[in-house]
Chains A and B, each alone.
Chain A
Amino acid sequence: MAKVKTHFEESDVLIVGGGMAGTGATFEARHWGKDLKIICVEKANIDRSGAVAQGLYAINCYMGMQWNENQPEDHVRYARNDLMGMVREDLGYDMARHVDSTVHMFDEWGLPMMKNEKTGRYLREGKWQIMIHGESYKPIVAEAAKKSADKIYNRIMITHLLMDDKKENRIGGAVGFNMRTGDYHVFRAKTVIVAAGGASHIFKPRAVGEGMGRTWYAPWSNGSAYALPIAVGAKMTQMENRIVLCRFKDGYGPVGAYFLHLKTYTQNANGENYEKKWYDHTKNLVGEYIDHHPTPTCLRNHAFIQEVMAGGGPIHMVTTEAFQDPHLETVGWENFLGMTVGQAVVWASQNIDPKYTNPELTTSEPYVMGSHATCSGAWVSGPEDLSPPEYFGVITEC
């Protein structure tokens, strides 16, 4: 075996992972510590790394507190309903109260936000989502991280966190290797932020052969966000949670904008609205949640799966009505080109023009991840003004 070089680096703040969360944390950390040494380590290239490499066509959560559209407590109620009670309300509230200032910052930086022509406000896709031209969402936020970090290491894969020798239960850094040279890197740091990715390919993908990579979530996301903390004994929570998504078949094109903005709807093979057929069945299973508005996403997906198992498939999205409007047709296509190009590729290859053909939907393979309002991950104490005092019990004056 060739001799491997080992490199050492010391810093005040080490950010592991340079996706949206990691690059954002790099920027924010510089505001609070002007003189600190801040380092971000990413296994790919921060300009196009993480789940937002392709872009995003919507920001899925914006309160609009400035126009009193929603308040953080409204979001807590919504999230509790959609996840059928499996939420930490303190964390949901905290996230919701900070999201507006972040969105305003992106607007200021040049992220193209769509505006409602009548009101001048951000264009709503649904009650919570706003629409953007987000092809360059990731490069824009990466630029902010580059301006803020002392150093950004691309192509270094962090494999383990280091425990502090002198202080019990304290992380003292991380180790990893260079993807190009194989060199070993040891990062010692006073603070470590793990902003690594969720996990693809734990469950068998729907596609086989060379299509294995065309999963819904990025195939390069290998669950470091869970593996790193688990390996040092972190308390994990709700790891039994699985997310299964309803998506356009074969390309995983998202359905949010189609349902909410384009007002397209689903039907079974006989052209029927199948969701109401499964009302009694689902009510027996979960009780009152089926009567809540909006219907929790998982219950709508459950009706989908039941209908297919009962022989009512394939399930189609009725696009042929909405797509007669050229503006809505453009939104429908750009929605994919801005975040899931593979769906446009599939439709082009199969001559599916949604203006004339209702495309088929399917459910994705299951995932373990912390995005899309799922809730699995390392347990955190939360903000002191919101979280229960016993979460901070172990902290003593010193």
Chain B
Amino acid sequence: MSTFVYMTRCDGCGHCVDICPSDIMHIDETIRRAVNIEPNFCWECYSCVKACPNHAIDVRGYADFAPMGHSVRVRREEEKGTISWKIKFRNGNEKNFVSPITTKPWGKFIPKLAEEASPDQGEINSQRLYTEPNGLNIDGDLPTISKDTFKKGVYY
């Protein structure tokens, strides 16, 4: 079944509908709660689970292979920059893991390129990408090589 929704926790806010890459998390029009409308198109990517403010979405493995009684729960905290996982095996064993998701305050170190100086025509005509060649951290320019060094491979 992949994702499923705890009806008592879901308030129908629609964050899961907004984020689901498969477009299969919908709000049921009668009960006003989220529902996975097409479980066999769910990648178990956990995007909706992470996005749900009420922790109302859970995942169970698909019925063909996965007996019930397990759980893999997650809490993603953008301000703290961490993601925490709790894995519960069917036999009751548990494992817990915490990983960083970012090392810097969210988005602060991504430049707003429209406010930076325009590249000159020489740069536009070159093969460089943004930050190159400085961003390569090497002495000299973007590497290039004589065309003759390539083996003839797949042409057309």
A residues neighboring B (CB under 8 Å): 27-28, 30-32, 34, 43-45, 47-50, 53-54, 65-66, 71-73, 76, 80, 85-90, 93-94, 97-98, 100-102, 104-105, 108-112, 133, 135-136, 140, 143-144, 147-148, 155, 179, 207-215, 218-220, 235, 237-238, 250, 330, 333-334, 337-338, 341-342, 344-351, 353, 375, 379, 383-389
The answer to whether B63 touches A105, judged by C-beta atoms less than 8 angstroms apart, is no
The answer to whether B44 touches A220, judged by C-beta atoms less than 8 angstroms apart, is no
* A111 to B: closest C-beta gap in Å: 7
Q: Give the size of the chain B interface in residues (CB under 8 angstroms).
A: 85
Closest to A211 in B: B62
The answer to whether A213 touches B89, judged by C-beta atoms less than 8 angstroms apart, is no
Bound-state Cα–Cα, A136 to B21, Å: 15
Cβ proximity bits B35-68 to A, threshold 8 Å, 1 near / 0 not: 0000111111111000100000001111111111
**A residues in contact with B101, CB < 8 Å:** 112, 133, 135-136
Known: A44-B23, A349-B68. A338 touches B99 (CB 8 A): yes
Is the C-beta of B31 less than 8 angstroms from some C-beta in chain A? no
**A residues in contact with B130, CB < 8 Å:** 27-28, 31-32, 101, 105
Bound-state Cα–Cα, A65 to B137, Å: 8
**A residues in contact with B41, CB < 8 Å:** 212-213, 219-220
Is the C-beta of B118 less than 8 angstroms from some C-beta in chain A? yes
Cβ proximity bits B71-114 to A, threshold 8 Å, 1 near / 0 not: 11010100000010101111101010101111111110111111
Can you pick out 12 interface pairs between chain A and chain B where the beta carbons lie within 8 Å of each other? A44-B22, A65-B137, A65-B138, A66-B138, A87-B153, A111-B102, A112-B103, A147-B113, A213-B62, A219-B22, A219-B43, A375-B154
Bound-state Cα–Cα, A31 to B135, Å: 14
**B residues in contact with A71, CB < 8 Å:** 143
Bound-state Cα–Cα, A375 to B99, Å: 33
**B residues in contact with A110, CB < 8 Å:** 102-106, 109
B61: contacting residue among A235, A345, A385, CB under 8 A: A345
Closest to A50 in B: B21
The answer to whether A48 touches B45, judged by C-beta atoms less than 8 angstroms apart, is yes
* A14 to B: closest C-beta gap in Å: 18
* A316 to B: closest C-beta gap in Å: 17
Bound-state Cα–Cα, A94 to B127, Å: 9
A344: contacting residue among B40, B87, B132, B150, CB under 8 A: B87
Closest to B101 in A: A136
Known: A34-B114, A209-B63, A349-B68. A88 touches B132 (CB 8 A): no
Closest to A54 in B: B45
* A334 to B: closest C-beta gap in Å: 5
**B residues in contact with A88, CB < 8 Å:** 153-154
**B residues in contact with A379, CB < 8 Å:** 156
The answer to whether B40 touches A209, judged by C-beta atoms less than 8 angstroms apart, is yes
Bound-state Cα–Cα, A238 to B155, Å: 10
